[in-house]
């Protein structure tokens, strides 16, 4: 049994290494500051990806802005105020169900509501709000864990002095839980960067530099998709892929390391 399992593990780790190696090998050549900061030309066959980076940043930033208040608020309610009962169980079930919804369906929903019915058209705003919904379960889960991890005696100390629940939360608990909550946000960021289908259906794929939230925009993942499937430029596709993977892995690594440190100091 042992040699088979060793071979399997080597294969799996090798797969990851091979994947990254391939991207570096074929993509590092095109990956330069000029590429990152330059404007695209010939529909992406040449030139840089600056508008794509801007769109991605706005998209993801907007998503985090939308999801954090709602997600952390929900987590606070579940961790601090909710009593075990039918309502709370229902809430948890529904949030768990949300986590299981395939990403394409978020895209359909975002398209139907924001792009069509609200009349925004393909827009960064539509994309951000759709992404925010996708990130909601992750943010709620990590924020709740962070809040629950705050030791009871800290809370009890504040309550014993006559503070209300909210005052205790605001001035003691949240401060303690902040690193954990932030880490959750960073994890969500990583997921948002990698999302393609839902973004394609809501933010569109326009290569222009967006000027307002109602402008369409192309995220890095969508750009990679288009370059790849339309065969526009292999070098630039690899470079885009490398940039994307680097960003996502760096973000995830930071978040996971921080989570480990914070869970087991």
Whether the CB-CB separation of 203 and 59 falls below 8 Å is answered with yes
Among 73, 151, 157, 208, the residue binding other proteins under the rule CB under 8 A is 73
* Sign of the CA dihedral running 195, 198, 199, 200: positive
Q: Applying CB under 8 A, which part among 29-37, 42-50, 104-112, 209-217 lies near other proteins?
A: 104-112
Asked if 244 touches other proteins (CB under 8 A), the answer is yes
Among 29, 39, 157, 164, the residue binding other proteins under the rule CB under 8 A is 164
| Strand ranges for 11-54 from DSSP E | 40-41, 46-47
DSSP summary character for residue 43: G
Closest CA to 132 of 198, 226, 228: 198
Cβ atoms within 10 Å of 137's Cβ, excluding its own: 20
Q: What residue has token string 């030791």?
A: 151
Asked if 106 touches other proteins (CB under 8 A), the answer is yes
Tabulate helix, strand, coil % of the chain (nearest 5): 80, 0, 20
Footprint of other proteins on 2-41 (CB under 8 A): 2, 4-6, 8-9, 12-13, 15-16, 19, 22-23
Asked if 114 touches other proteins (CB under 8 A), the answer is no
Among 165, 172, 179, 258, the residue binding other proteins under the rule CB under 8 A is 165
Please count the CA atoms within 13 angstroms of the CA of 91 that sit on its side-chain side: 15
Shortest Å, Cβ 2 to other proteins: 6
Asked if 148 touches other proteins (CB under 8 A), the answer is no
Asked if 211 touches other proteins (CB under 8 A), the answer is no
Asked if 44 touches other proteins (CB under 8 A), the answer is no
Quote the tokens at residue 6.
């060793």
Among 71, 127, 210, 216, the residue binding other proteins under the rule CB under 8 A is 71
Whether the CB-CB separation of 251 and 190 falls below 8 Å is answered with yes
Among 52, 60, 131, 136, the residue binding other proteins under the rule CB under 8 A is 136
Q: Applying CB under 8 A, which part among 34-42, 46-54, 57-65, 218-226 lies near other proteins?
A: 218-226
Among 33, 160, 229, 265, the residue binding other proteins under the rule CB under 8 A is 229
Closest CA to 95 of 128, 155, 135, 38: 135
Shortest Å, Cβ 128 to other proteins: 15
Among 60, 126, 133, 239, the residue binding other proteins under the rule CB under 8 A is 133
């Amino acid at each position: 049994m042992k040699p088979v399992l060793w071979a399997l593990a080597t294969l799996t780790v090798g797969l990851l290494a091979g994947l990254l190696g391939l991207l570096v090998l074929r993509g590092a050549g095109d990956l330069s500051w000029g590429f990152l900061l330059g404007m695209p030309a010939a529909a992406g066959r040449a030139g840089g990806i600056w508008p794509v980076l801007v769109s991605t940043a706005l998209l993801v930033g907007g998503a985090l802005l939308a999801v954090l208040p709602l997600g952390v608020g929900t987590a606070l309610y579940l961790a601090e105020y909710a009593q075990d009962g039918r309502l709370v169980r229902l809430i948890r079930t529904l949030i768990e169900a949300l986590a299981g919804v395939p990403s394409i369906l978020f895209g359909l929903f975002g398209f139907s509501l924001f792009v069509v019915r609200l009349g925004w058209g393909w827009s960064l705003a539509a994309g951000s709000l759709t992404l925010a919904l996708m990130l909601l379960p992750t943010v709620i889960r990590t924020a709740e864990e962070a809040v629950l991890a705050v030791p009871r005696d800290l809370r009890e100390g504040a309550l014993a002095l006559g503070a209300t629940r909210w005052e205790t939360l605001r001035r003691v608990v949240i401060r303690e839980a902040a690193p954990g909550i932030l880490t959750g946000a960073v994890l969500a960021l990583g997921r948002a960067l990698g999302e393609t289908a839902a973004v394609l259906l809501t933010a569109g794929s326009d290569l222009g530099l967006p000027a307002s939230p109602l402008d369409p925009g192309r995220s890095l993942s969508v750009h990679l998709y288009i370059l790849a499937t339309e065969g526009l430029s292999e070098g630039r596709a690899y470079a885009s892929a490398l940039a994307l993977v680097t960003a996502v892995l760096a973000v995830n690594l930071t978040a996971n390391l921080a989570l480990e440190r914070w869970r087991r100091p």
